[in-house]
Amino acid sequence: MDDDALTYEPVGVTRARARDGDTWRRAGVDERYRVMVARHRVARRAREEDRAALAEDVVTWRLHRAAGVRIEADGPAVEGAHVVSLLGAGPLVLRGPCRVLWADHEGFGYGSLRGHPVAGEESFRVTRDDTGDVWLEVEAYSRPAIALTRVAGPLVPVAQRLYVANLARAARLLHARRARAGAADGGSATMTG
């Protein structure tokens, strides 16, 4: 089996921002996959520069590392790049090899490769709404790919949501640090939320 072959179909659905179950199903994501859409506010009334800085944290893996996820990557998230997320410690480490499918000014999406505990796709975006609030948005569709995740069954979506909540906490901390540094340098600080 090719180590660069994605382990699921359809590929690329996260790029289109599928917001509801019907949209995902119309895109070809069948009932074997669990769909997750999570949105966490990172900052209130922030500037576009704050959103862009957090998006840079996402594509450079700084956000994942700040959340305590070990990342093996040769560079930022660009189309075609390979990355391995390592969750756990010692002999209890889950390796999650992926290939980046797309990347843009808001974030990126990647798909699972052989050896990942789930088969599917996930995207990470940082957006800013009309009020200036900055959001971390994570969308995914996945199904168990190894015995451990099959046995864990209903705990897998809970773990995924906790993982995303941890990323959101890390995003708030990164934003708050930048805001404090900006205030110390005489810049204007933004409120975190």
DSSP 87-100: ESSTT-PEEEEEEE
User: What's the pLDDT tens digit per position in 28-81?
Assistant: 888 889 888 899 999 999 999 999 999 999 999 999 999 999 999 999 999 999
**Half-sphere exposure of residue 69: CA atoms within 13 angstroms, side-chain side:** 25
- In this predicted structure, the answer to whether residue 138 has a pLDDT above a threshold of 60 is yes
Structure token digits, residue 109: 């999406």
Taking the model in full, what pTM does it have?
Answer: 0.88
Could you say which DSSP state residue 13 is in? G
Cα radius of gyration rounded to whole Å, the chain: 17
Helix (H, G, I), strand (E, B) or coil at 181: helix
Lowest mean pLDDT among 6-10, 14-18, 43-47, 135-139: 14-18
- In this predicted structure, the answer to whether residue 149 has a pLDDT above a threshold of 80 is no
Neighbours of 45 (CB within 10 A): 12
Q: Structural domains in the chain?
A: 13-184 (3.30.530.20)
